[in-house]
Chain A
Amino acid sequence: MTKKKAQARFVAACLAPALILVTLFIVIPTVQVFRYSLYQKSSFVGDETFIGFKNFQTLFNDSIFLESIQNQILIIVVITMFTIVLAIFFATLLTREEFKGKNLFRVIFYIPNILNIVIIAGIFSAIYAPSNGLLNTLLSSIGLDSLTRQWMGDPEIIIFSIIGALVWQAIGYYMVMYMASMTSIPENLYEAASLEGAGKFKQFFMITLPCIWDNIRQTLTFFVISTINLSFLFVQVNTNGQFGTQVMLNYMYSKAFSGNLGYGMAIGVITFILAFSMAGALNRVTKRDPLQF
Chain B
Amino acid sequence: MKKMKSLSPHSWYKIFIYFVMIVFAITIVVPIAWVFLASLKTQLELNAANPWAWPEVLQWGNYVKAFEKARMGDYLINTVIVVAMALVILLVVALPCSYVLARFKFKGKKFMNLLFMAGLFINMNYIVLPIYMNLFNIDNMLGMTNFLVDNKLILAIVYASTSLPFTVYLLSGYFQSLPKAYEEAALIDGCGFFKTMTKIMIPMARPSIITVILFQFLAYWNEYMVAFTLLETDHATLSVGLRNLMQAQRSAADYGTMYAGLVIAMVPTLILYIIVQKKLTQGMSLGGLKD
Q: Is the CB of A99 within 8 A of B17?
A: yes
Q: Is the CB of A176 within 8 A of B284?
A: yes
Q: Chain A nearest CB: distance from B86 CB in Å? A: 12
Which B residues are in CB contact (< 8 Å) with A15?
96-97, 100-101, 112
Q: Is the CB of A6 within 8 A of B193?
A: yes
- Given A17-B97, A119-B242, A10 contacting B127 (CB threshold 8 A): no
Q: Is the CB of B131 within 8 A of A90?
A: no
- Given A44-B133, A118-B242, A25 contacting B157 (CB threshold 8 A): yes
- Given A122-B246, A132-B49, A173-B290, A19 contacting B129 (CB threshold 8 A): no
Q: Is the CB of B51 within 8 A of A132?
A: yes
- Say yes or no for A131: interface residue by CB 8 A criterion: yes
- Given A36-B130, A118-B239, A119-B266, A25 contacting B122 (CB threshold 8 A): no
**Residues 98-132 of chain A, each 1 if its beta carbon lies under 8 Å from chain B, else 0:** 01010001111111101111110011001101011
Label chain A's interface by main secondary structure: helix
- Given A122-B262, A222-B290, A30 contacting B126 (CB threshold 8 A): yes
Which B residues are in CB contact (< 8 Å) with A122?
35, 246, 258-259, 262
- Say yes or no for B256: interface residue by CB 8 A criterion: no
Q: Which of B34, B129, B137, B224 is within 8 Å of A116, CB to CB?
A: B224
- Say yes or no for A157: interface residue by CB 8 A criterion: no
- Total number of residue pairs linking A and B with CB closer than 8 Å: 232
Please provide the chain B residues from 90 to 129 with a CB less than 8 Å away from any CB of chain A in the complex.
92-94, 96-97, 99-101, 104, 106, 112, 115-116, 119, 121-123, 125-129
Please, which residue of chain A has its CB at the minimum distance from the CB of B255? A126
Q: Which of B97, B130, B137 is within 8 Å of A33, CB to CB?
A: B130
- Given A24-B161, A99-B18, A232-B125, A111 contacting B224 (CB threshold 8 A): no
Please, which residue of chain B has its CB at the minimum distance from the CB of A111? B28
Q: How large is the interface on B (under 10, 10 to 19, 20 to 34, 35 or more residues)?
A: 35 or more
- Say yes or no for B132: interface residue by CB 8 A criterion: yes
Q: Which of B101, B127, B285 is within 8 Å of A29, CB to CB?
A: B127
Q: Which of A11, A126, A272 is within 8 Å of B126, CB to CB?
A: A272
Which A residues are in CB contact (< 8 Å) with B225?
232-233, 236
Bound together, the chains give a CA A115 to CA B35 distance in angstroms of: 13
Please provide the chain A residues from 42 to 88 with a CB less than 8 Å away from any CB of chain B in the complex.
44-45
Bound together, the chains give a CA A99 to CA B273 distance in angstroms of: 24
Which of the candidate stretches A146-154, A190-198, A204-212, A260-268 sits at the interface with the other chain?
Answer: A260-268
Q: Is the CB of B126 within 8 A of A22?
A: no
- Say yes or no for A275: interface residue by CB 8 A criterion: yes
Please, which residue of chain B has its CB at the minimum distance from the CB of A249? B125
- Say yes or no for B291: interface residue by CB 8 A criterion: yes
Bound together, the chains give a CA A89 to CA B23 distance in angstroms of: 14
Bound together, the chains give a CA A11 to CA B41 distance in angstroms of: 60
Which A residues are in CB contact (< 8 Å) with B32?
111, 123
Q: Is the CB of B51 within 8 A of A126?
A: yes
Q: Chain A nearest CB: distance from B121 CB in Å? A: 7
Q: Chain B nearest CB: distance from A208 CB in Å? A: 16
Bound together, the chains give a CA A184 to CA B282 distance in angstroms of: 13
Q: Chain A nearest CB: distance from B139 CB in Å? A: 11
- Say yes or no for A243: interface residue by CB 8 A criterion: no
- Say yes or no for B288: interface residue by CB 8 A criterion: yes
- Say yes or no for A32: interface residue by CB 8 A criterion: yes
**Residues 10-34 of chain B, each 1 if its beta carbon lies under 8 Å from chain A, else 0:** 0000100110110011011111101
Residues of B within 8 A of A (CB): 14, 17-18, 20-21, 24-25, 27-32, 34-35, 38, 47-52, 92-94, 96-97, 99-101, 104, 106, 112, 115-116, 119, 121-123, 125-134, 136-137, 157-158, 160-162, 164-165, 168, 192-194, 197, 218, 221-222, 224-225, 238-239, 242-243, 246, 258-259, 262, 265-266, 269-270, 273-274, 277, 280-281, 284-285, 288-291
Q: Which 9 residue pairs of A and B lie closest in terms of their CB atoms, listed nearest first?
A: A14-B96, A180-B285, A25-B161, A29-B127, A18-B97, A32-B130, A29-B130, A21-B161, A44-B133
Given A110-B273, A133-B51, A232-B125, 18 other A-B residues pairs in contact with their CB atoms under 8 A: A11-B100, A18-B94, A22-B116, A29-B130, A29-B134, A32-B134, A36-B130, A44-B129, A44-B136, A114-B269, A117-B224, A119-B265, A119-B266, A131-B49, A132-B50, A134-B30, A275-B121, A279-B121
